[in-house]
Structure 1
Amino acid sequence: MNSFNSALGKNITFVRPAYFIISGFSGIPNIKYYYVFLCFVYVVSVLGNTVVMAVIYLDHNLRTPKYVAVFNLAFVDLLGSSALVPKLLDIFLFNHPYISYNDCLTFLFFCFTCLSMQVLNLVALSYDRLIAILHPLHYQVKVTHRFMLSLIAFFWVFAITVDLIAVGLLTRLSFCRSVVINSYFCDHGQIYRLACNDYMPSDVFALILISLILFIPLLFIMLSYVCIGYALSKVATAQERYKAFRTCTAHLSLVAIYFIPILITFTAGSEIPPNARIINLSLASIFPPMLNPIIYVLQTQEIKGSIKKILKVRKESKMKVKIVIIK
């Protein structure tokens, strides 16, 4: 016990580099065209998610538990895009690959928290659809505003906590070899593999994190749709089945957009060339925030109706102002 206490009392020095070098897109031919594409994606993401948030906020008919989750998803997409894409463009388009140690860990935390919340929001929306179809008569009792807000708050606390643990474990590592991160951002796995001391805790926690943030949510979503499919098979008419399933199409599209590229990348593993892997993972990070608002606007009748109503009211108010001015 004395030796253990003395060991704890020793000063432990961690070698922390002044900066890391992010080199993910270097060496890829014609990559500047991809940067232009990233600018377009970012602008569309910001505009689309801002519109969705504004419509839900302005239309009191959309103050339902489902659209509380949709609003939070749009907010997370906006926050995640703003955390990732501008910094990514600064690093590669303007040739600033050097990022300080503290900035890199902060960058990692915000990106991972937003990516985690995107998945957890899909879980919340999946639960909403599950209760709405399996227990339609008890939906308003089981899925209330208070319940949805509490669920989203729990997801935020959970995502922030696990990502803080991941970053905290990285601060226990020493970097006395390379400081080059072969990714498009401060990737957790790429960072801890650069350490020259034991990174086993970070490696184990990375597996736990993948399970908690990726595979368990995906399993829950898949099982929920198995239950939904079974429940719809018991519905009398095909028209009723179609009407009920149509309420799930937007959510299913979001799930497919988010999970399919990631699963393909992880399944293929080493068969994908490193550059193609980096491009694919970067698209998996930046595409969902752009497509999510487009899908909800095009496939959700309530949001389309709200946008038309808001535009109609604005048009009528302009006409009234013109009439007053003419008089």
Structure 2
Amino acid sequence: MIKIYIFKDNFIEFKLCLTQIFVYIVFLSLESHSLAILAFDRLIAICFPLRQNAINTTTTMISIIIAIYAVCISISVGCIVSLTHLSFCNSVQVNSYFCDYAPVFRLACNDNTVQWTLATVLVLAELLGPLSFIVFTYACILIAVYRMKSVKSRFRALATCTEHLLLVAIFYIPMLVISVLGYFRLGLNQEVRTIGLSLSSCIPPCANPIIYSMKTKKLRNRVDLVFQRICANKRCSCSSTSQKIN
């Protein structure tokens, strides 16, 4: 991306293009499943608080993460292998700001039915699957919160889900819009597609550590202390200025 925008050089070798597609699909899939894992953690914490330590053990989470890595890498490898059987005899200009799976196989001269099928499986397994699980978990969470007698407890339980729901909306809404329009082969403005992919690809991974680390009490107190020092310094400078004027 830096090479394209700064040096205006948008040429990329076919093998490097395949590598870029593989890396993008893997990390996009991992981000989607990570949001599902966080939803699972919220489900256990709110619906089964007394059994949280017994269910969310280190062994359980490591097993889930290994299984997700295996699924994401397997699907990505299948997509890459399918692209090697295509012939590109006409245009080789990818209609995206990076090598994306669908824009690349659409350039093929021969039949790309297998690639369309894999793209559908990719959307179902890596987007709609985790999203459906997230919706299910929050339905269970809402039922559990509704059964709580204390309004304060309800508010506290829902407050722990705010950051996660924000990341879910930022990630899934643009990706689903782009995927649905692409599946039905409807026209989509290139700039809109670029903005949507950038929003889903960059913001959640960058915002995730910031949002969740701010919930740590020590870090939050440290940030408050820094702001208090800044405000105190400004007050001192203002008071010294007023004394000089007097």
Q: Smaller-chain TM-score range? A: 0.7 to 0.9
Tell me what 1:224 maps to. Answer: 137
> d(CA) in 1 for partners of 2:162 and 2:108?
44
Structure 1: any 5+ residue segments left out of the alignment? 1-87, 313-327
Residue type at the aligned position of 2:28: L
> d(CA) in 2 for partners of 1:309 and 1:285?
30
1:96 equivalent in alignment to 2:25: no
Q: Does the residue aligned with 1:172 lie in a helix, a strand or coil?
A: coil
Q: Which has the higher contact order (CA 8 A, sep 6+)?
A: 1
Q: Does the residue aligned with 2:12 lie in a helix, a strand or coil?
A: strand
**Aligned 8 A contact 1:184 1:282 in 2:** no
Structure 2: any 5+ residue segments left out of the alignment? 226-246
Tell me what 1:113 maps to. Answer: 26
> d(CA) in 2 for partners of 1:244 and 1:109?
38
1:193 to 95, 100, 106: 106
Shift of 1:309: 6.8
1:169 equivalent in alignment to 2:82: yes
> d(CA) in 2 for partners of 1:260 and 1:191?
23
> d(CA) in 2 for partners of 1:267 and 1:235?
38
> d(CA) in 1 for partners of 2:6 and 2:96?
15
Can you list the C-alpha shifts for 1:284-316, whole angstroms capped at 9, x where unaligned?
222222222232233x2xx2424657999xxxx
> Normalised by the size of structure 2, how large is the TM-score?
0.83
Can you list the C-alpha shifts for 1:10-36, whole angstroms capped at 9, x where unaligned?
xxxxxxxxxxxxxxxxxxxxxxxxxxx
1:280 equivalent in alignment to 2:200: no
> d(CA) in 2 for partners of 1:163 and 1:225?
29
For the aligned residue pairs, the C-alpha RMSD in angstroms reads 2.1
Can you list the C-alpha shifts for 1:105-137, whole angstroms capped at 9, x where unaligned?
001111111111000001111111111111111
Pairs aligned (count) = 222
> Normalised by the size of structure 1, how large is the TM-score?
0.64
Aligned residues with identical type, % of pairs: 38
> d(CA) in 1 for partners of 2:181 and 2:87?
31
> d(CA) in 1 for partners of 2:24 and 2:189?
24
**Aligned 8 A contact 1:253 1:295 in 2:** no
Residue type at the aligned position of 2:132: L
Shift of 1:273: 2.5
Can you list the C-alpha shifts for 1:156-195, whole angstroms capped at 9, x where unaligned?
1111110011001111111111111010110100111111
**Aligned 8 A contact 2:21 2:101 in 1:** yes
Residue type at the aligned position of 1:237: S
